[in-house]
Chain A
């Protein structure tokens, strides 16, 4: 058998192997892509419902005797009045046949426990409604919300459902009367956290994230740019700068939770900064994002051609003037792109913030970087732990908002790069 025969004999096998290898490769890419789509579909499928919220229409009689017996319209008295009583009365009026105590109690549970607060806001905004009666849409309880959106299976045996048959009958009656509907869930974007899913919102977490990112940006951008300028333009090549460089590269790969330990031990225990504050979160995230920003800024500085520097030096600029008047403006787009990507990382980071106490249950919306607060990813973490069905929906919706912000930031970085970056 000559060699060419042997080659020809093995060709079929070799080509088959070639095809198999190629299919494996394609399969791996498709698998990866399907993971991406699975992730997005599963989250969007769970979360889109949370942008709508179920409301119930009640005929509320703002009785003067109940709200303001003195008739003085004093805000203090008005804000302490029994608004839950109004909600209950309105519910009783809508279902007059419910008379037994236990049934009444179940009936009251149709409306959210925050319904009274909603009436209170309405009265405080316009005390003129006292003494009249009006049709008001108030939030439904989260179980009713889930039922109305079809997320609770009516065919299950009653004992395994979160909603009993009687309540389903009431909801169906409301539906026939057109007194129950879903509308855009504004509270989800403006409220702080709450134990009740129908009242919980991401407003507080978004403000917390905003303050944290503001602190991070204010510190990490100038420091990162300054460090990059020094290392790229001024630093002599010696052991010390080598050490700095190795450090920066290593810090970029240190697990984020270790930065949390640092924040806890140094900022909170040693310097006594307040727990749960966006200020401390911002400091920790600054240390985390600095390597990203420094590395990106150095790449941007490297891309500026030396001819620019030489020309400026040639007409008599000092080294510092060369850098600040000519090199820095040309490198700025690249630095900004790196900073935006670093900020996007910081926005999605949660592990180090758990260490410094940003996991507390905080209802109030923070008003400054020293107020206790939480951030969007940590809010997602907290809600993911909650057993209520409705929180699953809200967690997914919060994830969608977070991903939306991240996509926006990355788009901005891409546009910035395309628009402003010059190629020499």
Chain B
């Protein structure tokens, strides 16, 4: 995007074209006060405090775009008067309870009241009683403190996509009309709106029906919204912030662990809450509330340690999952090179295979887009990912494209979901049969590919789905009819010509697309909706997920995706299945089969190393160790230890067995450069954001280019289609692994999630029989699910659900009520 020059208070700045004045100013460290505006969301215009003068006209900096040569004045006497009046109005009836308020010290109302020097109050109105309520198991809303800036509702709608909260009527006293002439104009308009509204769950009940991500809590400028667990337990200034990376899913979001001593009795540090840079990154419920999964170890257990060294030395296999740092993965890989131990990690293994097949076909070692790029596109597609459950950030990106870029979206998934269609009116959902993922990709090829770039067999194959048929359609035609009308008074007859609508039958040739029909939609209606969706679209992205990696034809699918990228303007982003699957896939040479005795690292095995505190030797959990994680944005981000840990770590074992350096983070420079990592010291890795939203965290992986070969793809294998009773391996929202499960504020249970109708039919408990084993689980209703496919959680490693499913996420099973 081009740059334009603007002047703010006489100083010249080169800013991004089409940017809002406010963002342009922020990017250049110029301060314009603003309360209601959220970067990455649409301007709300609730606070009106960002008023500035641009080329002699008063505009709102949050929704006026920069123009070349624009001259902006931040403060004029009139604007200052408006701003002061606005702040005075916000302070009317705002409870003077800063002393107990959780937000005190980091409150924007406090800050702006001081900033604008409000030391007296000119306005007054009768207060309305507003009750404090709990919206959900985590959300606490104190309506009395709310200034209705609507930041929470904006974030919930534009970023999260739940739209679970909205403004409702307050029932407050009407403003004195006389104020309209005496008060500054914008302050009056703002007050008028403020006095009428308050925030409430949008479903009309007392409780929100949402994913409990807590982003509304993060964006609240005052103490109105907070986490139920945190209310009145600590002041902001008492907490020590440790910048880190969330280790629950592959988003690898920037977070701060905020710690202080647990209580007067217990002086050990405890995490009180997790906060984030909410202007630039949005967390999910697991990231925000799933923080207390630490493994408290008082001292080094030397006996267990020597056993562990012995076990690792004699191990045939080390079995681990992807909740592991790059450094630890590197240790395991080095161990493998020295001793030949097998490394087994099912989730990273399938992703590795998939990524390899993709890079061979596409000629680049990594997928093209990160999810920030996806957010910037205006047409987004998702195949093979349960968007709502698999990865919150992918879902936020999908939703944000609809809300902010006037975008459109195609969502292909076998499990019905009633949330995705609400993201935008240009979202088309294909609830296709299990096993038809290839058909979905072929449809994308058909819709977007430049035919000249397609191999001839693919072209023919796509053409074989097209058929033309003639169809009779009824059409409204205006016909002129001549009538003789007799005038009643004069008795004269007149000839009048009228136009009358007449339904006429007409034959038209319709081109129908067999692929669309195969995926379960009517070809005719889709053609018209697709035409509408494509209007004014410029950039296209495709998000692919775990279903495709765990697919019998994964390699063909990977090649298809490479073909989509080469033959069309669609770029691809992949969702690694677990936290650091991408890092593990790049660093480790993984094996398919386990042999000999197994050492499990946070997994089952003959000897277990566990950060969950239930193994043979304790390991530090992710909030107790330093290291880097490779996230789905292809970024290597550092994470720091928020809590102390007194036991042994993996590096201690490595120090005995192989020539390991002193600290775990000394491995950071050793990460394989050939795979795109950089030889950078851990301590030099930044972890933050710049004012213009640039992500300044760690470094981005280098994409290694190789020569791409001719891409040969196979046809859709319809024998893959599953019918009958199908179970899908999928976690509920906010649950990702044993660590999120351990956290006390994550309540989602292990079980079988089913749509309302299906849950009623199944009863309270079922026994599911897989090929080799059966499992008895509770049935849990998920209002957001639709259709007959049920979802079995996999976050408890002790249940070994991965083994039940094998190399697929879908399985035909028999279910029996228990």
| A and B are partners in one complex rather than unrelated chains | no
B-to-A contact residues, CB < 8 Å: none
